[in-house]
């Protein structure tokens, strides 16, 4: 399901459409997959409303008129959305299996506190956040207060700067445990890209 507002769509990403205006050559439409709603005539009609007579359009998924309009206007915000369905303690296993197949949904029971972990994991996933745990030398990892990094900036350098701006200049290397490394632990430098729930121990220069 998608919740739409005047400025944004909730629960989906941007349409997989390439749109490029050009100086001449008319309207060129390429359909990578079969279309159930859009064809060359409907595309030309929509573009004429925006006084566009020369453009290349590639439809990489089955797209709607609204999808094309969103791409042309270029002002829509696409926001990840999770639908929480409560009271699963009052339905059958068969009904629960059906609910689990609904996209962007997490069934739970607030009364019995069932499936809260699943909701938390999906929230982390949809927010594109990465949890990194610190491990002081000679101590156990701190799993209560992870360093949170954005998925597109999760290098060891970003991790160090998140802890303290001065750590990087004293960094010799780091030991990493987790899915981002082949060996447990493995020595890495500041360019190493960390993965969710990695454990990091900073080794400073003497």
At residue 4, the pLDDT reads 44
Q: Where are the beta strands (DSSP E) in the chain?
A: 3-4, 8-10, 17-21, 27-31, 55-59, 77-79, 83-85, 105-107, 129-134, 142-150, 171-177, 186-188, 198-204
Taking only the tens place, the pLDDT of each residue in 51-75 is: 999 999 999 999 999 999 999 998 8
Torsion of CA 176, 179, 180, 181, to 10 degrees: 60
Q: Checking DSSP bridges between strand 8-10 and strand 77-79, what pairing results, if any?
A: parallel
Label residue 124 left, alpha or beta by phi (over 0 means left) and psi (-120 to 50 means alpha).
alpha
Q: Report the candidate in 22, 12, 92, 7 with the shortest Cα–Cα distance to residue 57.
A: 22
Taking only the tens place, the pLDDT of each residue in 97-126 is: 998 888 889 999 999 999 999 998 888 888
At residue 1, the pLDDT reads 38
Whether the full predicted model's pTM is greater than 0.95, yes or no, is no
Contact by Cβ (8 Å): 61, 15: yes
Taking only the tens place, the pLDDT of each residue in 2-51 is: 444 444 555 567 899 999 999 999 999 999 999 999 999 999 999 999 99
Mean model confidence pLDDT for the chain:
90
Taking the C-alpha atoms of residue 33 and residue 60, their distance in angstroms, rounded to an integer, is: 6
Taking the C-alpha atoms of residue 68 and residue 89, their distance in angstroms, rounded to an integer, is: 42
């Amino acid at each position: 399901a998608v919740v739409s507002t005047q400025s944004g769509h909730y629960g989906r990403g941007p349409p997989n459409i390439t749109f490029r205006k050009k100086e001449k050559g008319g309207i060129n439409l390429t359909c990578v997959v079969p279309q159930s709603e859009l064809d060359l005539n409907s595309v030309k009609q929509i573009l004429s409303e925006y006084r566009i007579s020369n453009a290349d359009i590639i439809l990489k998924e089955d797209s709607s008129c609204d999808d094309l309009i969103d791409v042309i206007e270029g002002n829509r915000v696409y926001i990840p959305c999770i639908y929480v369905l409560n009271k699963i303690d009052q339905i059958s296993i068969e009904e629960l299996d059906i609910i689990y197949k609904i996209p962007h949904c997490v069934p739970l029971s607030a009364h019995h506190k069932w499936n809260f972990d699943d909701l938390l994991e999906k929230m982390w996933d949809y927010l594109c956040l990465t949890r990194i745990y610190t491990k002081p030398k000679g101590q156990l990892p701190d799993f209560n207060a992870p360093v949170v990094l954005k998925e597109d900036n999760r290098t060891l350098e970003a991790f160090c700067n998140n802890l303290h701006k001065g750590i990087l200049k004293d960094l010799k290397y780091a030991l990493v445990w987790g899915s981002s490394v082949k060996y447990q632990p493995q020595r890495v430098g500041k360019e190493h890209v960390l993965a969710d729930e990695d454990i990091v121990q900073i080794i400073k220069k003497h």
